[in-house]
């Protein structure tokens, strides 16, 4: 993603920081958060996804990565609630660009980490 997408929470996003956070906190975050984050990540990687949608995704994933968000992620059971809200809102905004293949890929990756 180009620098134009690095506004707001998007400035906290990078592929490296996304994967580090996801791999480190996947169990704590839960399957739903992980699957939504992966769906957004894969949608952003798709060549047909328009720039405006990538900007929305970058912002949501940046918020997910940000260690100091509205509800600290270290609080059991509720810490990832705000992250889930941001991810779901972003998914709703870019839903037309989340293909069945992307959904399947995210579901498969989550199944690798969480089991069926």
pLDDT tens figures, 25-72: 777 778 888 999 999 999 999 999 999 999 999 999 988 887 665 455
* pLDDT-wise least confident of 6-10, 57-61, 89-93, 105-109: 6-10
Q: How does pLDDT run across 3-29, given as a tens digit for each residue?
A: 445 567 788 788 888 888 888 777 777
Cα separation, 53 vs 50, in Å, equals 5
**Can you read off the two tokens belonging to residue 99?**
């293909």
pLDDT value at position 68?
61
The domain segmentation of the chain, as residue ranges, is 10-114
């Amino acid at each position: 993603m180009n620098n134009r997408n690095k506004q707001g929470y998007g400035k906290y996003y990078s592929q490296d920081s996304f994967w580090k956070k996801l791999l480190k906190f996947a169990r704590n975050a839960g399957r739903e958060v992980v699957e939504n984050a992966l769906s957004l990540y894969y949608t952003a990687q798709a060549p047909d996804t328009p720039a405006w949608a990538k900007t929305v995704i970058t912002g949501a994933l940046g918020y997910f990565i940000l260690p100091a968000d509205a509800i600290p992620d270290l609080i059991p059971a509720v810490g990832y609630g705000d992250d889930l809200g941001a991810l779901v809102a972003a998914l709703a905004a870019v839903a037309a660009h989340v293909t069945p293949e992307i959904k399947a890929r995210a579901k498969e990756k989550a199944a690798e980490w969480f089991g069926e």
